[in-house]
Amino acid sequence: MKLRLAERMYRLGTETAFEVAARARALEAQGKPIIHLEIGEPDFDTPKHVRQAAAEALEQGYTHYSGSTGIPELREAIARYAGKNRGLHFDPANVVVTPGAKPIMFYTIMALLEPGDEVIYPNPGFPIYESMINFLGGVAVPLQLSEIRNFHVNIKELESKISSKTRLIIINSPHNPTGSALARSDLEAIARIAVEHDIMVLADEIYSEILYDGVEHHTILDFPGMMERTILLDGFSKTFAMTGWRMGYGIFPGEMIPHISRLVINSVSCTSTFSQRAAIDALEGPRGEVDKMLEAFASRRDIMYEGLNKIDGLRCNRPEGAFYAFPNITDTGMSSREYADYLLNEADVAVLPGTSFGEYGEGYIRISFANSEDNLRKAMERIEKANRKLPAITAEIGAK
């Protein structure tokens, strides 16, 4: 029998990080000393008090289903926390807890899009946006983020992409994979466009607490008319080093809640209950371990930014937030994919090609600096050495 898949399966994309990580691990199993800079997750353990809270919750019997949108105490804690961090007021009734934040993308696009509706999304950008839009029958309209603008949104270009079919704009700040963070004035302009054309906005703010140089996080929800048309996506994976727990949330306009709740019931019923209990402790418990982790990211950001710019063949903007560097690699004379493969095979360093984040990622690689300072320094030494073997770079050095 020949397996016949639904046509939509051929429109489903993926997150290459998981595939590159598998290849890197296979090389490691052969004895290669791989340094992993491909995956977007903190290398720190979840804070101890959160782990303890989960263990206690298990003992206390938090082993049953919860309501589909989450346990009330966690929804309240999220509304308080997300509101306090943004200087806004959120109603706990508008909070939906999900297994990781990813389902929020899926549910939002599923709930809002008719076939043929257009979604404007950042490119390069988190690959699941494009994947979900295509999968669910929408038209993915890329908004290029370019290096010359420090990977910020070009408002004129955004305006030129709006059509009568535009249903949703996706923004992500701080941004994966470029590390850019949107300025308040840009968000204000995007809000104006959304209101004027009656467009919904998905604001992916999962890196909202990972910002450098004292830069403040700004949210599009702060502008008139945005509460009723914005879905805020955030979660625990990054800020609290909880990737494996699968804990995320969305804050939706109230009218969407019964519909999103039904999507949750149809797909996962609810999120793991003892994890939800522990998540309250993440939000309301001591901040010490999180603060230490954020400080470590800041110091690594400096090491990477300075180090990468010293390597012949690379040029890198200063990441404003998140834990990624997105250096330009065009001087290597290779495509993004060739160069990422080259680094894996020649330098034992796993990174992602920029094209894993869309067509406009060509010419770049993404390096996650969620790794120790020692490993980052070692990785840069290896990259420098590998680059010196490249004909395009030797010719350039010779000409200097």
Contacts with ligand PMP, 26-65, as mask; x by CB under 6 A: --------------x-------------------------
> Quick one: which of 131, 172, 208, 368 contacts ligand PMP (CB under 6 A)?
172
* Coil vs helix vs strand at 89: coil
Candidate residues 70, 235, 327, 361; the one interacting with ligand PMP per rule CB under 6 A: 235
CB of 324 to ligand PMP, least distance (A): 9
Cβ nearer to ligand PMP, comparing 166 with 172: 172
From residue 242 to residue 261, the character string flagging contacts with ligand PMP as x (rule: CB under 6 A) and all else as - is -x----x-------------
- Candidate segments 53-61, 95-103, 158-166, 304-312, binder of ligand PMP by CB under 6 A: 95-103
Q: How far is the CB of 237 from ligand PMP (least distance, A)?
A: 3
For the chain, the farthest-separated pair of C-alpha atoms sits apart, in whole angstroms, at 70
Helix axes 273-284, 48-59, angle to 10 degrees: 140
Is 100 a residue that touches ligand PMP (CB under 6 A)? yes
Calpha distance 17→262 (Å, rounded)? 31
Burial of residue 13 (CB within 10 Å: 0-12, 13-18, 19+) is: middle
Site string for ligand PMP, 125-164 (x = CB under 6 A): -x--------------------------------------
- Distances 69 to 65, 97, 111, 322, 339 between C-alpha atoms, Å: 11, 5, 15, 28, 44
| 75 within 8 A of 83, measured Cβ to Cβ | no
Q: Which is nearer to ligand PMP, 15 or 384 (CB)?
A: 15
Give φ, ψ of 142 to 5 degrees: -75, 140
From 22-30, 96-104, 250-258, 357-365, span contacting ligand PMP (CB under 6 A): 96-104
Q: Is the dihedral of CA 53, 56, 60, 63 positive or negative?
A: positive
Q: Which amino acid is at 333?
A: G
**# residues contacting ligand PMP (CB under 6 A):** 13
Q: Does 324 bind ligand PMP (CB under 6 A)?
A: no
Q: Which residue is nearest to ligand PMP (CB)?
A: 100
Instruction: Report the alpha-carbon distance of residue 70 to residue 270 in Å, rounded.
Output: 7
Contacts of 90 (CB under 8 A, 6+ apart): 78, 79, 82, 83, 251
Would you count residue 101 as binding ligand PMP (CB under 6 A)?
A: yes
Give the binding site for ligand PMP (CB under 6 A): 40, 100-102, 126, 172, 176, 204, 206, 235, 237, 243, 248
